């Protein structure tokens, strides 16, 4: 099968493979890049991404180095007419971010229609983080701050097997397969480093199965259509032999009896039963529940079933922006938590302008020039403003430097701004450990090796 761009993206984009088109900071578009299908009656045929930044035929995005900036096509791909259609269909306002951002496969392109187009996009390799922010939501999903912590706590690492349910929108699935990936298996039995994902909603199961295939993850993620409360976690009657478990279900306590080492009480005595857990390793489990009542029930059942080191954690992820507050520069400091490298670039540019205007002003005034100085005082630093409006006779002015000689860009208090409050409570994470199972023989063997044994 195809190699997943999530795991081994290589250096360049590939045809028939997933890429993320970065339109703007908050607008990422996942796209399976399709080759042009050739020409039909003077029309070039192929898939085109039409955005408000211009049109991007897939052919211009294939075989590009990851991270490349790609300019919009100068050929009119007829996006306007179609954009109108899309808006009519989906009621997207004309000026909305990414309006008309849609992939139109097999669309015919009239040749030679030139249009002034200066937009560009960046083409990024898919990562679980980017996928989480751009994936088609079919359910609530687990976000990066939660899943990075969860994967660390359940000790997901290359070669481990993870049981996950429900699959939902596959956000956690993509993060977990990267965590356990240790190469493509040569055979089914050789497949260590695998995710066993269970979903009972037929539609979501189908979509997950398609997505896993399209993303080159088929050998590494086994999606099963299953109600895990009733039917547990075996795959074709066999144990996944999992060391890690993640349950994002409305009632995790109903699934827990199937995750024990020994036969659950409600399974008939004569019915054969296999544990889905790896017996010769400690198993780490996490459940993800939004309500404390769910946590209480889960913990109660965990205790009954022999889970240990039970602990609940809530990840309260808060973004903290650290910046210099520059007074009087008309800086957009009130942008708060959204200050980004883009804003920093803008700010540096602005400071340069202010500095050069200020220099010009002082050269003129100190050089004895009378006449109104042509300085936009709204742009001037506070130190300069407090000197009064520049007017005739101003011959001396404080230079826009601090007493320590610091340049304007060095001035300003170093401040940090946190998001005003945690935006949303995501979920409570309950962690637990099922110790390794010891047979009588193992116990005897270990005891015989004990330095002061027998």
* Helix ranges (DSSP H) in 26-124: 79-90
Contact region for ligand SAM (CB under 6 A) — 47-55, 162-170, 373-381, 442-450?
162-170
The torsion of the CA quartet 154, 160, 163, 169, rounded to 10 degrees, works out to 90
Indicate the residue among 161 and 258 with the shorter CB distance to ligand SAM.
Answer: 258
Indicate the residue among 70 and 175 with the shorter CB distance to ligand SAM.
Answer: 175
Residue 411 CA to residue 322 CA, distance in Å, equals 15
How far from 212 is each of 1, 47, 451, CA to CA, in Å? 11, 22, 50
> Residue from 128, 170, 240, 390 that binds ligand SAM (CB under 6 A)?
170
230 in Cβ contact with 238 (< 8 Å):
no
427 in Cβ contact with 289 (< 8 Å):
yes
For ligand SAM (CB under 6 A), the number of binding residues is: 23
233 binds ligand SAM per the rule CB under 6 A: no
Residue 186 CA to residue 337 CA, distance in Å, equals 47
Give min distance, CB of 203 to ligand SAM, in A.
9
Looking only at the bridges linking them, the beta strands covering 221-225 and 161-165 are unpaired
> Residue from 50, 51, 165, 426 that binds ligand SAM (CB under 6 A)?
165
204 binds ligand SAM per the rule CB under 6 A: yes
Indicate the residue among 166 and 400 with the shorter CB distance to ligand SAM.
Answer: 166
> 439 Cβ partners below 8 Å, 6+ apart?
none
Indicate the residue among 36 and 140 with the shorter CB distance to ligand SAM.
Answer: 140
210 binds ligand SAM per the rule CB under 6 A: no
131 binds ligand SAM per the rule CB under 6 A: no
How many CA atoms, within 13 angstroms, populate the side-chain half-sphere of residue 360? 14
30: closest CA among 17, 20, 41, 42? 20
Give min distance, CB of 236 to ligand SAM, in A.
17
> Residue from 14, 127, 140, 387 that binds ligand SAM (CB under 6 A)?
140
Indicate the residue among 137 and 413 with the shorter CB distance to ligand SAM.
Answer: 137
> Residue from 56, 131, 181, 200 that binds ligand SAM (CB under 6 A)?
200
Site for ligand SAM in 239-278 (CB under 6 A): 248-250
How many CA atoms, within 13 angstroms, populate the side-chain half-sphere of residue 133? 15
38 in Cβ contact with 91 (< 8 Å):
no
48 binds ligand SAM per the rule CB under 6 A: no
139 binds ligand SAM per the rule CB under 6 A: yes
Residue ranges that bind ligand SAM, judged by CB under 6 A:
139-142, 165-166, 168-172, 198-201, 204, 226-229, 248-250
């Amino acid at each position: 099968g195809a190699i997943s761009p999530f795991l081994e993206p290589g250096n360049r984009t590939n045809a028939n493979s997933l890429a993320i088109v970065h339109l703007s900071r908050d607008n990422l578009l996942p796209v399976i890049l399709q080759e042009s299908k050739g020409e039909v009656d003077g029309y070039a045929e192929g898939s085109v991404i039409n955005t408000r930044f211009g049109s991007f035929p897939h052919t211009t995005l294939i075989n590009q180095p990851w991270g490349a900036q790609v300019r919009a096509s100068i050929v009119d791909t007829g996006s306007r007419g179609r954009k109108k259609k899309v808006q009519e269909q989906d009621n997207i306002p004309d000026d909305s971010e990414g309006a008309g951002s849609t992939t139109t496969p097999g669309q015919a392109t009239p040749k030679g229609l030139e249009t002034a187009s200066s937009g560009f996009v960046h083409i990024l390799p898919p990562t679980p983080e980017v996928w989480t922010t751009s994936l088609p939501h079919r359910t609530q999903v687990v976000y990066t701050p939660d899943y990075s912590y969860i994967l660390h706590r359940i000790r997901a690492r290359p070669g481990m097997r993870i049981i996950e349910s429900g699959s939902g929108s596959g956000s956690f699935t993509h993060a977990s397969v990267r965590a356990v990936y240790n190469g493509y298996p040569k055979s089914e039995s050789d497949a260590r480093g695998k995710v066993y994902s269970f979903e009972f909603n037929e539609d979501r199961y189908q979509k997950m199965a398609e997505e896993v295939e399209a993303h080159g993850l088929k050998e590494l993620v086994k999606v099963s259509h299953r109600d895990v409360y009733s039917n547990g976690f075996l795959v074709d009657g066999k144990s996944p032999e999992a060391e890690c478990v993640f349950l994002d279900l409305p009632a995790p306590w109903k699934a827990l009896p199937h995750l024990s080492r020994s036969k659950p009480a409600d399974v008939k005595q004569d019915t054969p039963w296999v544990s889905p857990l790896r017996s010769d390793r400690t198993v780490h489990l996490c459940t993800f529940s939004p309500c404390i009542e769910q946590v209480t029930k889960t913990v109660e059942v965990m205790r009954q079933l022999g889970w240990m080191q039970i602990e609940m954690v809530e990840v309260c992820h808060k973004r903290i922006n650290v910046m210099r507050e520059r007074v009087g520069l008309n800086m957009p400091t009130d942008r708060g938590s959204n200050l980004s490298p883009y804003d920093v670039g803008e700010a540096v540019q602005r400071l340069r302008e202010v500095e050069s205007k200020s220099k010009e002003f002082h050269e003129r005034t100190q050089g004895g020039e009378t006449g109104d100085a042509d300085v936009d005082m709204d742009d001037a630093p506070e130190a300069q403003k407090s000197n009064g409006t520049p007017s005739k006779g101003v011959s001396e002015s404080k230079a826009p430097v601090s007493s320590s000689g610091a340049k304007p860009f060095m001035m300003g208090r170093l401040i940090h701004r946190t998001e005003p409050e945690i935006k949303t409570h995501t979920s409570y994470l309950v962690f637990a450990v099922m110790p390794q199972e010891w047979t009588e023989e193992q116990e005897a063997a270990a005891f015989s090796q004990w330095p002061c044994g027998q």
